[in-house]
Amino acid sequence: MSGDTIAIETPDGNFTGYLAKPATGTGPGIVVIQEIFGVNKVMRDLCDGLAGKGYMALCPDLFWRIEPGIDITDQSEAEWKKAFDLFGKFDVDKGVADIAATIRTLRPLSSGKVGTVGYCLGGQLAYLAACHTSTDASVGYYGVNIQNRLDDARGIKKPLMLHIAGKDEFVPPEAQEAVVAGLRDNSHVTIHRYPEMDHAFARPGGAHYDKATADEANDRTLKFFARHLG
């Protein structure tokens, strides 16, 4: 399956995203939010996989304001250096605005409801999308720095699921506990914890990929979206 490149409009200019469509031509929408490696093969494969499950899956190029078209891997030191440089320059709030624009672009192409799913940086952005956009359901995998944005949680009015890796090298235990405590009383939020997992346990080909746990988390995600976007 191969997707299309489509334009996404914002007040600051247009950028692009990778759109994968189901065989039926349309379905519920899911915005797939990138890691720090851009819209790479991992993200495109995720979109294609969701399209195979009946979703319109759109991955926006959220680094477009810094450098459009980033497509790197996690396989070399130079790429990691580039990724962290981009992460350091990235404006999270502009990223949330760009996700809102992506949702607006995807909704009329979809059968109605649009969700968001993100990984790493995208995990934080999926959380913030739940706080600040019109997303109908959001899922965040091992989101970084959520503990610094817990005040935003008052904006959560639709279902949110978070997958937390217990041994996440980028989210220390105290940050994990702050997130759990900060969201405990919000009835819209479901948190799944994976005590033995490190960051990016669901990234195929990654150093910490764990297929059994990734399959478990992904099954929870698909059931969540079937329930709330169907």
The residues carrying an active-site annotation are: 168, 199
Q: Are 100 and 133 in contact (CB under 8 A)?
A: yes
Angle formed by the axes of helices 92-106 and 121-132, nearest 10°: 70
The helix (H) or strand (E) run that includes residue 126 is helix 121-132
Sheet with 29-33, strands from edge to edge, namely: 4-10, 13-20, 56-60, 29-33, 114-119, 138-141, 160-165, 189-194
| Token output for 75 | 């396989």
Contacts of 169 (CB under 8 A, 6+ apart): 198, 199
